[in-house]
Amino acid sequence: MKGEEKMKICFNTATSGDHHRLEKVLDALGRAGYDGIEIDTGRLDDALTRMSIEDLKERIQGNGLEVAALMAFGLVVFEDRTEVLARIGKYAELGHKLGSSILLTFCGVGIPEGMSKEEALAKAGEAAAQYGEVAAPFGGQIALEPIGRSALMGGPKEALEIARFSGRDNVGIMMDTFHYYLSQIPMSDIEAIPLEKLLIVHVNDSEDRPIEQLKDSHRLYPGKGCLPLQDDFAALKEIGYAGHLSVEIFREEYRKQPIDMIVREAKRGLEDILRTI
Protein backbone atom coordinates (compact mmCIF):
# COMPACT_ATOMS: atom_id res chain seq x y z
CA MET A 1 0.00 0.00 0.00
CA LYS A 2 1.17 3.48 -0.78
CA GLY A 3 -0.52 5.29 2.09
CA GLU A 4 0.83 5.21 5.61
CA GLU A 5 -1.11 8.03 7.25
CA LYS A 6 -4.52 7.28 8.70
CA MET A 7 -7.65 8.73 7.20
CA LYS A 8 -9.42 11.27 9.43
CA ILE A 9 -12.78 10.67 11.09
CA CYS A 10 -15.14 13.52 10.24
CA PHE A 11 -18.81 14.42 10.76
CA ASN A 12 -21.03 16.28 8.30
CA THR A 13 -23.58 18.47 10.08
CA ALA A 14 -26.25 17.40 7.56
CA THR A 15 -26.30 14.10 9.45
CA SER A 16 -27.74 15.82 12.53
CA GLY A 17 -30.24 17.88 10.53
CA ASP A 18 -31.74 21.01 12.07
CA HIS A 19 -32.46 19.34 15.40
CA HIS A 20 -29.12 20.18 17.04
CA ARG A 21 -27.31 23.51 17.18
CA LEU A 22 -23.76 23.66 15.87
CA GLU A 23 -22.34 24.32 19.34
CA LYS A 24 -23.91 21.11 20.69
CA VAL A 25 -22.63 19.15 17.70
CA LEU A 26 -19.12 20.47 18.23
CA ASP A 27 -19.12 19.52 21.89
CA ALA A 28 -20.45 16.03 21.12
CA LEU A 29 -17.78 15.50 18.48
CA GLY A 30 -15.14 16.60 20.95
CA ARG A 31 -16.38 14.09 23.52
CA ALA A 32 -16.40 11.34 20.90
CA GLY A 33 -12.89 12.08 19.70
CA TYR A 34 -13.53 13.11 16.10
CA ASP A 35 -10.83 14.67 13.96
CA GLY A 36 -12.96 17.02 11.88
CA ILE A 37 -16.30 18.55 11.04
CA GLU A 38 -17.87 19.50 7.72
CA ILE A 39 -20.29 22.37 8.22
CA ASP A 40 -23.34 23.20 6.13
CA THR A 41 -23.71 26.92 5.43
CA GLY A 42 -27.17 27.15 7.01
CA ARG A 43 -25.85 25.79 10.30
CA LEU A 44 -22.88 28.12 10.11
CA ASP A 45 -25.07 31.17 9.50
CA ASP A 46 -27.28 30.18 12.43
CA ALA A 47 -24.32 29.82 14.78
CA LEU A 48 -22.95 33.22 13.75
CA THR A 49 -26.14 34.87 15.03
CA ARG A 50 -25.02 33.82 18.52
CA MET A 51 -21.24 34.17 18.38
CA SER A 52 -18.43 35.76 16.41
CA ILE A 53 -16.40 33.85 13.86
CA GLU A 54 -13.45 34.07 16.25
CA ASP A 55 -15.47 32.53 19.10
CA LEU A 56 -16.68 29.78 16.81
CA LYS A 57 -13.15 28.96 15.73
CA GLU A 58 -12.11 28.79 19.38
CA ARG A 59 -15.00 26.39 20.12
CA ILE A 60 -14.01 24.20 17.19
CA GLN A 61 -10.36 24.06 18.21
CA GLY A 62 -11.27 23.58 21.86
CA ASN A 63 -12.97 20.33 20.88
CA GLY A 64 -9.88 19.14 19.03
CA LEU A 65 -11.47 19.55 15.61
CA GLU A 66 -10.55 21.02 12.26
CA VAL A 67 -13.04 22.22 9.67
CA ALA A 68 -12.81 19.84 6.72
CA ALA A 69 -15.11 21.78 4.37
CA LEU A 70 -18.09 24.08 4.07
CA MET A 71 -21.05 22.82 2.08
CA ALA A 72 -22.92 22.80 -0.23
CA PHE A 73 -22.92 24.84 -3.41
CA GLY A 74 -24.54 23.91 -6.69
CA LEU A 75 -22.41 24.14 -9.81
CA VAL A 76 -24.44 26.48 -12.00
CA VAL A 77 -23.52 25.48 -15.54
CA PHE A 78 -26.12 26.84 -17.93
CA GLU A 79 -27.64 29.80 -16.02
CA ASP A 80 -26.54 33.11 -14.51
CA ARG A 81 -23.94 32.63 -11.76
CA THR A 82 -24.00 36.05 -10.09
CA GLU A 83 -25.72 34.88 -6.91
CA VAL A 84 -23.77 31.67 -6.42
CA LEU A 85 -20.42 33.37 -7.08
CA ALA A 86 -21.24 35.86 -4.33
CA ARG A 87 -21.91 32.90 -2.01
CA ILE A 88 -18.64 31.27 -3.01
CA GLY A 89 -16.77 34.45 -2.14
CA LYS A 90 -18.57 34.85 1.19
CA TYR A 91 -17.98 31.30 2.38
CA ALA A 92 -14.45 31.07 1.03
CA GLU A 93 -13.64 33.99 3.31
CA LEU A 94 -15.47 32.44 6.28
CA GLY A 95 -13.80 29.11 5.63
CA HIS A 96 -10.41 30.81 5.59
CA LYS A 97 -11.15 32.37 8.98
CA LEU A 98 -12.08 28.94 10.33
CA GLY A 99 -8.97 27.32 8.88
CA SER A 100 -10.70 25.48 6.04
CA SER A 101 -10.15 25.78 2.30
CA ILE A 102 -12.64 23.34 0.75
CA LEU A 103 -16.04 24.35 -0.64
CA LEU A 104 -18.15 21.29 -1.49
CA THR A 105 -19.79 21.86 -4.90
CA PHE A 106 -22.30 19.37 -6.31
CA CYS A 107 -23.60 18.96 -9.84
CA GLY A 108 -26.63 16.85 -10.69
CA VAL A 109 -27.81 18.62 -13.85
CA GLY A 110 -28.60 17.07 -17.21
CA ILE A 111 -27.25 17.93 -20.64
CA PRO A 112 -29.35 20.31 -22.77
CA GLU A 113 -30.92 18.81 -25.87
CA GLY A 114 -28.69 19.22 -28.88
CA MET A 115 -25.50 19.70 -26.85
CA SER A 116 -22.81 17.04 -26.81
CA LYS A 117 -21.48 15.77 -23.51
CA GLU A 118 -18.04 17.13 -24.37
CA GLU A 119 -19.52 20.60 -24.90
CA ALA A 120 -21.46 20.34 -21.64
CA LEU A 121 -18.34 19.30 -19.73
CA ALA A 122 -16.47 22.26 -21.18
CA LYS A 123 -19.28 24.59 -20.06
CA ALA A 124 -19.10 23.07 -16.59
CA GLY A 125 -15.35 23.64 -16.66
CA GLU A 126 -15.96 27.33 -17.36
CA ALA A 127 -18.27 27.50 -14.33
CA ALA A 128 -15.77 25.68 -12.11
CA ALA A 129 -13.05 28.07 -13.27
CA GLN A 130 -15.13 31.04 -12.11
CA TYR A 131 -15.79 29.38 -8.75
CA GLY A 132 -12.08 28.71 -8.36
CA GLU A 133 -11.16 32.25 -9.31
CA VAL A 134 -13.50 33.74 -6.71
CA ALA A 135 -12.30 31.35 -3.98
CA ALA A 136 -8.59 31.74 -4.75
CA PRO A 137 -7.93 34.99 -2.83
CA PHE A 138 -8.89 33.16 0.37
CA GLY A 139 -6.97 30.00 -0.45
CA GLY A 140 -10.23 28.25 -1.31
CA GLN A 141 -10.52 24.96 -3.18
CA ILE A 142 -13.54 23.76 -5.13
CA ALA A 143 -14.40 20.08 -4.56
CA LEU A 144 -16.68 18.83 -7.35
CA GLU A 145 -19.24 16.27 -6.16
CA PRO A 146 -20.71 13.90 -8.76
CA ILE A 147 -24.38 13.05 -8.18
CA GLY A 148 -25.30 9.43 -8.77
CA ARG A 149 -26.89 8.57 -12.12
CA SER A 150 -26.82 12.20 -13.30
CA ALA A 151 -26.06 12.84 -16.96
CA LEU A 152 -23.38 15.52 -16.81
CA MET A 153 -21.28 14.60 -13.77
CA GLY A 154 -22.23 11.16 -12.52
CA GLY A 155 -18.78 9.98 -11.48
CA PRO A 156 -15.11 10.81 -11.00
CA LYS A 157 -14.15 10.63 -14.68
CA GLU A 158 -16.56 13.45 -15.55
CA ALA A 159 -15.59 15.44 -12.45
CA LEU A 160 -11.91 15.17 -13.33
CA GLU A 161 -12.66 16.24 -16.89
CA ILE A 162 -14.51 19.31 -15.61
CA ALA A 163 -11.58 20.10 -13.33
CA ARG A 164 -9.26 19.77 -16.33
CA PHE A 165 -11.43 22.06 -18.43
CA SER A 166 -11.37 24.63 -15.62
CA GLY A 167 -7.62 25.02 -15.98
CA ARG A 168 -7.32 25.81 -12.28
CA ASP A 169 -5.17 24.03 -9.71
CA ASN A 170 -7.69 24.83 -6.95
CA VAL A 171 -10.48 22.80 -8.57
CA GLY A 172 -10.55 19.15 -7.53
CA ILE A 173 -13.10 16.43 -6.91
CA MET A 174 -14.61 14.48 -4.06
CA MET A 175 -16.03 11.02 -3.50
CA ASP A 176 -19.38 10.11 -1.97
CA THR A 177 -19.82 6.38 -1.35
CA PHE A 178 -23.61 6.59 -1.91
CA HIS A 179 -23.43 8.51 -5.18
CA TYR A 180 -20.58 6.38 -6.51
CA TYR A 181 -22.70 3.31 -5.73
CA LEU A 182 -25.70 4.77 -7.57
CA SER A 183 -23.51 5.36 -10.63
CA GLN A 184 -21.91 1.90 -10.22
CA ILE A 185 -18.40 3.37 -10.28
CA PRO A 186 -15.84 0.54 -10.54
CA MET A 187 -13.03 0.35 -8.00
CA SER A 188 -10.57 0.85 -10.85
CA ASP A 189 -11.99 4.35 -11.41
CA ILE A 190 -11.48 5.20 -7.72
CA GLU A 191 -7.93 3.86 -7.80
CA ALA A 192 -7.25 6.01 -10.88
CA ILE A 193 -8.13 9.30 -9.13
CA PRO A 194 -4.98 11.44 -8.80
CA LEU A 195 -4.34 11.84 -5.09
CA GLU A 196 -3.79 15.59 -5.36
CA LYS A 197 -7.25 16.00 -6.92
CA LEU A 198 -9.21 14.07 -4.26
CA LEU A 199 -10.09 16.73 -1.69
CA ILE A 200 -12.61 15.03 0.62
CA VAL A 201 -14.68 11.84 0.92
CA HIS A 202 -18.30 11.51 2.06
CA VAL A 203 -19.14 8.22 3.77
CA ASN A 204 -22.55 6.63 4.17
CA ASP A 205 -24.17 3.23 3.82
CA SER A 206 -27.48 2.35 2.21
CA GLU A 207 -30.54 0.19 2.45
CA ASP A 208 -30.44 -2.76 0.06
CA ARG A 209 -32.92 -1.67 -2.62
CA PRO A 210 -32.83 -1.54 -6.41
CA ILE A 211 -30.53 1.30 -7.40
CA GLU A 212 -33.24 3.14 -9.31
CA GLN A 213 -35.33 3.28 -6.12
CA LEU A 214 -32.63 4.62 -3.80
CA LYS A 215 -32.98 8.12 -2.39
CA ASP A 216 -30.92 10.13 0.11
CA SER A 217 -33.38 9.18 2.84
CA HIS A 218 -32.31 5.53 2.46
CA ARG A 219 -28.79 6.22 3.71
CA LEU A 220 -27.60 4.41 6.84
CA TYR A 221 -24.74 4.55 9.32
CA PRO A 222 -21.54 2.98 7.95
CA GLY A 223 -21.63 -0.78 8.24
CA LYS A 224 -25.41 -1.01 8.49
CA GLY A 225 -26.18 -1.48 4.81
CA CYS A 226 -25.12 -2.94 1.47
CA LEU A 227 -22.42 -0.57 0.20
CA PRO A 228 -18.93 -2.03 -0.41
CA LEU A 229 -17.29 0.32 2.09
CA GLN A 230 -14.44 -2.04 2.90
CA ASP A 231 -13.48 -2.10 -0.78
CA ASP A 232 -13.94 1.67 -1.06
CA PHE A 233 -11.62 2.34 1.87
CA ALA A 234 -9.07 -0.17 0.60
CA ALA A 235 -9.02 1.68 -2.73
CA LEU A 236 -8.57 5.00 -0.94
CA LYS A 237 -5.74 3.55 1.12
CA GLU A 238 -4.11 2.22 -2.06
CA ILE A 239 -3.93 5.69 -3.62
CA GLY A 240 -2.59 7.15 -0.37
CA TYR A 241 -5.62 9.16 0.70
CA ALA A 242 -5.20 10.48 4.25
CA GLY A 243 -7.88 13.17 4.26
CA HIS A 244 -11.26 13.38 5.92
CA LEU A 245 -13.92 10.69 5.80
CA SER A 246 -17.02 12.77 6.44
CA VAL A 247 -20.17 10.88 7.49
CA GLU A 248 -23.09 12.44 5.60
CA ILE A 249 -26.52 10.87 6.13
CA PHE A 250 -29.94 12.32 5.35
CA ARG A 251 -32.19 10.21 7.57
CA GLU A 252 -34.83 11.84 9.75
CA GLU A 253 -34.93 8.81 12.03
CA TYR A 254 -31.29 9.44 12.96
CA ARG A 255 -31.62 13.21 13.20
CA LYS A 256 -34.19 12.89 15.99
CA GLN A 257 -31.78 10.90 18.15
CA PRO A 258 -29.72 12.54 20.93
CA ILE A 259 -26.66 14.16 19.40
CA ASP A 260 -24.21 12.02 21.41
CA MET A 261 -25.90 8.90 20.04
CA ILE A 262 -25.71 10.15 16.47
CA VAL A 263 -22.00 10.95 16.55
CA ARG A 264 -21.19 7.77 18.49
CA GLU A 265 -23.00 5.46 16.06
CA ALA A 266 -21.52 7.20 13.02
CA LYS A 267 -17.98 6.95 14.38
CA ARG A 268 -18.30 3.38 15.61
CA GLY A 269 -19.44 2.07 12.24
CA LEU A 270 -16.75 3.95 10.36
CA GLU A 271 -13.95 2.81 12.66
CA ASP A 272 -15.11 -0.82 12.60
CA ILE A 273 -14.70 -0.88 8.81
CA LEU A 274 -11.38 0.96 8.84
CA ARG A 275 -9.95 -1.64 11.21
CA THR A 276 -10.51 -4.32 8.58
CA ILE A 277 -8.38 -2.78 5.82
- pLDDT value, residue 3: 40
Query: Domains in the chain: how many in total?
Result: 1
Residue 1 has pLDDT above 60, yes or no: no
CATH number at residue 145: 3.20.20.150
Q: Is residue 106 assigned to a domain?
A: yes
- pLDDT value, residue 2: 43
Total-model pTM: 0.97
Quickly state the pLDDT bin for 33 (edges 50, 70, 90).
very high
- pLDDT value, residue 4: 63
Model confidence over 49-91: pLDDT tens digits? 999 999 999 999 999 999 999 999 999 999 999 999 999 999 9
Averaged pLDDT score across all residues of the chain? 97
Q: Is residue 3 assigned to a domain?
A: no
Whole-number Å distance between alpha carbons of 131 and 168: 10
Taking 3-state DSSP, the helix, strand and coil percentages for the chain, each rounded to the nearest 5, stand at: 50, 20, 35
**Bridge partners, 210 (sequence order):** none
Residue 261 has pLDDT above 80, yes or no: yes
Q: Is residue 263 assigned to a domain?
A: yes
Model confidence over 233-257: pLDDT tens digits? 999 999 999 999 999 999 999 999 9
Domain extent for 165: 8-274
Strand stretches in the chain, DSSP E: 8-12, 36-40, 66-74, 102-107, 141-146, 171-176, 198-203, 205-206, 219-220, 244-247
Q: Is residue 262 assigned to a domain?
A: yes
- pLDDT value, residue 5: 86
Quickly state the pLDDT bin for 168 (edges 50, 70, 90).
very high
Q: Is residue 1 assigned to a domain?
A: no
